């Protein structure tokens, strides 16, 4: 799948097959009181139960799966203040790839510990703009 192309039905089916047994099937929850207060039926997908605590795990896992062996060997880099970084570290670990997560200067200690426990490396940098700039420079330097 090209980065600029929309995913095809085959892309989605391939990702679903690859994620079977890896990603959690998260429930859809409803609540009568919430429905009453809003005047409609509200369904909430409980993605906080997903690996890494976010829906992002599925996409990150699938993206790493689609990398060439040479690309995977270079590792992955992401900018995150937490959950995406945890998901990336976990997905990278499952694929045997290195992972660097560029985080804020003072990130949540619990999220740093989770990333590092999964084998990821945390690079701390200030503002969102600085983090993105740092990630771009690192990526350009290492490929």
pLDDT band at 68 (very low <50, low <70, confident <90, very high): very high
Does any domain span residue 45? no
- In the residue annotation, 56 being an active-site residue is answered as yes
Annotated catalytic residue within 56, 63, 127, 137: 56
Give me the DSSP letters along 36-105.
HHHTS--EEE-GGGSGGGSTHHHHHHHHHHHS-HHHHHH-EEEE-SSHHHHHHHHHHHHHT--EEEEE-S
User: Based on the structure, what is the number of domains in the chain?
Assistant: 1
Name the average pLDDT for the chain.
89
Say how many CA atoms lie within 13 Å of 11 toward its Cβ.
12
Question: Do the strands 76-79 and 99-103 form a parallel or antiparallel pair, or are they unpaired?
Answer: parallel
CATH number, domain containing residue 131: 3.40.50.1100
Annotated catalytic residue within 2, 40, 43, 81: 81
pLDDT band at 129 (very low <50, low <70, confident <90, very high): low
Give residue 75's domain range. Answer: 68-142
Does any domain span residue 41? no
Does any domain span residue 114? yes
Per residue in 21-53, pLDDT tens?
A: 999 999 999 999 999 999 999 999 999 999 888
Does any domain span residue 84? yes
pTM, to two decimals: 0.81
Does any domain span residue 7? no
Does any domain span residue 16? no
Does any domain span residue 5? no
Give the distance from CA 66 to its chain's centroid. 15
The answer for residues whose C-beta is within 8 angstroms of residue 69's C-beta and 6 or more apart is none
Give me the DSSP letters along 69-80.
HHHHHH-EEEE-
Does any domain span residue 19? no
Torsion of CA 92, 98, 102, 108, to 10 degrees: 60
- In the residue annotation, 63 being an active-site residue is answered as no
């Amino acid at each position: 799948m090209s980065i600029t192309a929309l995913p095809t039905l085959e892309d989605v089916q391939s990702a679903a097959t690859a994620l079977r047994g890896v990603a959690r099937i998260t429930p859809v929850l409803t609540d009568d009181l919430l429905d009453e207060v809003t005047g409609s039926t509200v369904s909430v997908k409980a993605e906080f139960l997903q690996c890494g605590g976010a829906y992002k795990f599925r996409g990150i896992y699938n993206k790493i799966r689609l990398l060439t062996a040479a690309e995977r060997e270079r590792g992955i880099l992401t900018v995150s203040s937490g959950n995406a970084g945890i998901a990336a570290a976990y997905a990278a670990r499952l694929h045997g790839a290195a992972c660097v997560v560029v985080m804020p200067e003072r990130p949540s200690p619990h999220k740093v510990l989770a990333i590092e426990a999964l084998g990821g490396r945390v690079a701390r940098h200030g503002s969102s703009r600085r983090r993105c700039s740092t990630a771009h420079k690192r990526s350009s330097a290492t490929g």
